[in-house]
Structure 1
Amino acid sequence: MPDASLNIGNARTLRWVDPGVLAYHRQRLGGLDFFRAMARGEIPTVPIYSVLDMRLTDVERGYCRFECDTGPHMVNPVGGIHGGVYAILADSAAGIAAQSWIEEGSVTRTVRLNVDFQRPLTAESGTVVCEGRTAKVGRRIVLSDATITDREGREAGRAQGTFMVVPATGSGSPSGSSSGGPPPPAGREFLAEWGDTGAIRAATADRTGLELLSMIADGRLPAAPIGQTLGFSLESVGDGTATFLCAPAERQYNPLGTVHGGVPATLIDAATGCAVQTKLPAGYSFSTVSLTCEFFRAITLETGSVRCIGRIVKHGRQVSVADADVVDRDGRVLVRGTATCLAHPLR
């Protein structure tokens, strides 16, 4: 089964390859050669890359380049590309640039990611490029930067990542078949379906942010397509708060066989933004200006469902700050983040 995804109206068949195949090739090739083989198309790509139409096109020591075709499955409630997609692109490019320096037997894990949003993207933006470059390489910590540019070469986002060097583990899936070769390249697929985001834009004109989000939470208005794509939903909202629920899934996986760090970053962007939205009057929306996430524990299928709880920290007439925690079923904080948001009339 191909690892590309297919658009059909307000639905998309998401396709990816069993992470066990990637685990086998990662053990066989090692860090830099593994990613170079992926860029050349010699081995399958990563689940989250397939789902978001991301293509790894170039990897060198200290450098990484992705292309991404924007589409309707990536958008937020008002039709723009969700800030979480920026975070996934940036974390991927900066992380691979960091990994390119690491000796065999070790990997890098994201401990901090900061994303600054400079230009909105839409489903019609076409192919965007994300480039990652290492800024400083230490024995235990690697710093990398990433930039996202649109097809006209204009910068849409910029990010800085801090990555910790840790011993490689057997995360992922089976390392091979009983004969010692790669496991069969079993394909996976999931049908993501969503409603008309135009209905949300229309409802924004005469409903407060809290009223609007309450209608999404109880199903009277459709949820954002990105939630269907990545597997999360708005569970509840209150005055200055918003809670999202997410079930870890294979399609969210990164090259190391855990949920990609950009997925909890997406949850944090959603929860902080919606917490701000609950304070806005009718006819207003918001844009995230910056997002910072700190990662404490990896998320896998075994983690079970996680919640992301967003809260207003400081609400202003134009600029607001909110924070959010991603917690597991035992209440342990897995990822923590803060966002700065700018309110504006819905354009």
Structure 2
Amino acid sequence: MPELNPEHLQAVISAINNGPFFKLMSMTVEELGDGYSVVAIEIGKKHMNPFGGLHGGVYSSALDTAAYWSAYCDLPDGNGLISIDLKVDFLAPVSPDHKIIVTGNRIKAGKTIFLAEAKMCNQAGKVLAHGTSKLMVTHDKQTIHDVIEYVGSSKLPAKFLKS
């Protein structure tokens, strides 16, 4: 694979983090690289279910996000991904006022289907949830250029450095 352009990755992170859903969730992509991503969420009362525990949708959204972005760097320019499956194992409760870290890892990058996983941990490293996701490769649909247009960011630097 060609070498990724660090300026492109930083611009992508900035654009993603300016999306309305990310702001609503208090979620940020902190790292993005070849086959991995790191996502953080500052857990607050707004993330809790009526019983005072972290809502299952927050677990799922965080795992889906980290899995998705771990696969991004393998995509040729002009292609996108759509989640077609998400399996979540809820392993431990989360209380408010904690930061959780979700690491995504690409397992397999195919021509039409990607497989990725994500692990949610607290700051002490305790695993809170694990998920796997299958993602379908799209052509000219749900691409990074759609993200840039939607959030109103400036044009992206090239994804890959010229060799």
TM-score, with length taken from structure 2 = 0.80
What is aligned with 1:78? 51
For residue 94 of structure 1, give the secondary structure of its aligned residue in structure 2.
helix
Over aligned residues, Cα RMSD in angstroms? 2.9
For residue 92 of structure 2, give the secondary structure of its aligned residue in structure 1.
coil
* Displacement of 1:90: 0.6
Residues 158-204 of structure 1 deviation map (CA, whole Å, 9 limit, x = unaligned): 00000010112385796799xxx95xxxxxxxxxxxxxxxxxxxxxx
Q: Which runs of 5+ in 1 are unaligned?
A: 1-31, 183-347
Equivalent pairs: percent with the same residue? 24
Q: Distance in 1 between matches of 2:64 and 2:21?
A: 12
Instruction: Indicate if the aligned counterparts of 2:18 and 2:151 stay in contact, CA closer than 8 A.
Output: no
For residue 163 of structure 1, give the secondary structure of its aligned residue in structure 2.
strand
Aligned length: 148
Whichever residue aligns with residue 22 of structure 2, its letter is Y
Alignment of 1:1-347 (within 5 A): 35-39=9-13, 41=14, 45-124=18-97, 126-169=98-141, 182=154
Whichever residue aligns with residue 157 of structure 1, its letter is A
Residues 236-265 of structure 1 deviation map (CA, whole Å, 9 limit, x = unaligned): xxxxxxxxxxxxxxxxxxxxxxxxxxxxxx
Q: Which has the larger radius of gyration?
A: 1
Residue 129 and residue 71 in structure 1: after superposition, are their counterparts in 2 closer, same or farther (change >3 A)? same
Instruction: Indicate if the aligned counterparts of 1:38 and 1:45 stay in contact, CA closer than 8 A.
Output: no
Instruction: Indicate if the aligned counterparts of 1:74 and 1:82 stay in contact, CA closer than 8 A.
Output: yes
TM-score, with length taken from structure 1 = 0.39
Instruction: Indicate if the aligned counterparts of 1:115 and 1:159 stay in contact, CA closer than 8 A.
Output: yes
* Displacement of 1:36: 3.0
Greater relative contact order structure (CA < 8 Å, 6+ sep): 2
For residue 96 of structure 1, give the secondary structure of its aligned residue in structure 2.
helix
Residue 44 and residue 94 in structure 1: after superposition, are their counterparts in 2 closer, same or farther (change >3 A)? closer
Q: Which runs of 5+ in 2 are unaligned?
A: 1-5, 155-163
Q: Distance in 2 between matches of 1:161 and 1:42?
A: 23
* Displacement of 1:80: 0.8
